[in-house]
Amino acid sequence: MFLNKVAGALLAVLLVLLALPTLSDIIFGKGGHHGGHHEEEAHSLNERFAASYAYYLPVEEGAGGAEVEEEVFDLGAMLAMASVEDGASSFRSKCSSCHNAEDPGVNGAGPALHDVVGRAFAAADGFGGYSGTLSSMEGEWDYEALDAFLLNPRGYVNGTAMSFAGLRRDPERMNVIAYLASQSPNAPPFPAPLPAEEEMAAEVEVDVEAPQGEALEEAAEDLTEAGNDAAAAVAEEAAGIVEQVEDAADEAVEDATEAADEAVNGRRGPTNH
C-alpha cells in the first residue's frame, strides 16, 4: 500500500513536468512548427491566427476571403477604340429602316439622326412623332445619353414609341455612337478615358503635417503604447503562473523523494550499532 502511494506521488510529479510545455504554449502561443504547418493550409486570417495563437480577436473577412472588385464602364476608352465603319454597317442593318443619319437629314418612321450628337431631345426639324415622355425631357443627346438610350431605349425613355430592343453588346453600341458622331458636324470630342488606378492613387496625397495627420499619428502612438502595456501585463502575469507551477512541481518532487526515502528506510528496519 505504501509503495502504491510512492508510485502515485512520482506519477503526479511526472504529469506536472509533462504539463509545463503545454501550459507554456497556452500562455505564450503555440509552437512555431505547429503554427507553420497550419499556415500552409490556412488561407484566411482567422485560420492563421487560430493556428498561431491561443487567444485572438476574430477579423471580419469577405466571402471567399477576397473582395470582389466592381467593374467600371469607361465610356471614353470604349469610344476611343470604336470603329466608324463597323458602326455604319450596324446602323444600316438595324436602324436604317426607320432612321437616316446622312446629310441632308430626312425624317422617316423615326426622326433624322444627322447631326444628332449634341442636339436637344425631341428637336429634329419637321418630325412630330415623338412620345410625350421624350418631348417633356430636358437635356441633349450627348455621349452618355446616347449610350444609355441605345443600351435600353424603354428603360431610358419610359413610354418611347420606338420598338427597338437596344444594342446590348458594348463594342457594337460604341461603334454606332462613333458613326453618329461622324455624321454630326457639331459633335463634341469624345469624353476622356478614366485615369488609371495608379494615377488616381498618385493624386491622393496625405499631409502628415496637417492637423488630421498629427491626430492620426498621436492616435497610433497611443494605441501602440496601450498595446505594449497590455502585453507586458499579460507576460508578467503569465510568468507568475509559470513560477507558481514550477514551485508546486519542486515541492511535489521533494515530497515524493522524502516519501521514497522513508519507504526504503522503513523496509530496512532499525540498524544496531
> Do residues 87 and 176 make contact, with C-beta atoms less than 8 angstroms apart?
yes
Q: Is 182 exposed, middle or buried (CB count within 10 Å of its CB: 0-12, 13-18, 19+)?
A: middle
Residue 205: what are its φ and ψ, rounded to 5°? Answer: -115, 140
| pLDDT values of the chain reduced to their tens digit, one per residue, 273 residues | 667 766 676 777 677 667 666 665 655 555 444 444 444 444 566 666 566 555 555 666 554 555 556 678 899 999 999 999 999 999 999 999 999 999 888 898 999 999 999 999 999 999 988 999 999 999 999 999 999 999 999 999 988 888 888 999 999 999 999 999 999 998 999 999 998 765 656 655 544 455 666 777 777 777 777 777 777 777 777 777 777 777 777 777 777 777 777 776 766 555 554
Q: What pLDDT shows up at residue 213?
A: 62
Nearest CA-CA partner of 87 in 177, 154, 153? 177
- The number of helix segments (H) and strand segments (E) in the chain equals 11, 0
In Å, what is the CA distance from 214 to each residue of 69, 202, 218, 219, 221? 32, 21, 6, 9, 11
Identify the sign of the CA torsion 128, 133, 136, 142: negative
Q: Where are the domains of the chain?
A: 1-63+241-264, 75-182
Q: What pLDDT shows up at residue 29?
A: 53
Q: How far apart are CA 18 and CA 97, in angstroms?
A: 90
Q: Say if domain 75-182 classifies as CATH 1.10.760.10.
A: yes
Nearest CA-CA partner of 116 in 172, 189, 182, 180? 180
3 CB contacts (<8 Å, ≥6 apart)? Answer: 263
Identify the sign of the CA torsion 247, 248, 253, 257: positive
- Measured torsion, CA atoms of residues 13, 14, 18, 19, in degrees rounded to the nearest 10: -30
Identify the sign of the CA torsion 258, 261, 267, 268: negative
C-alpha cell of residue 157: 425613355
Q: What pLDDT shows up at residue 22?
A: 66
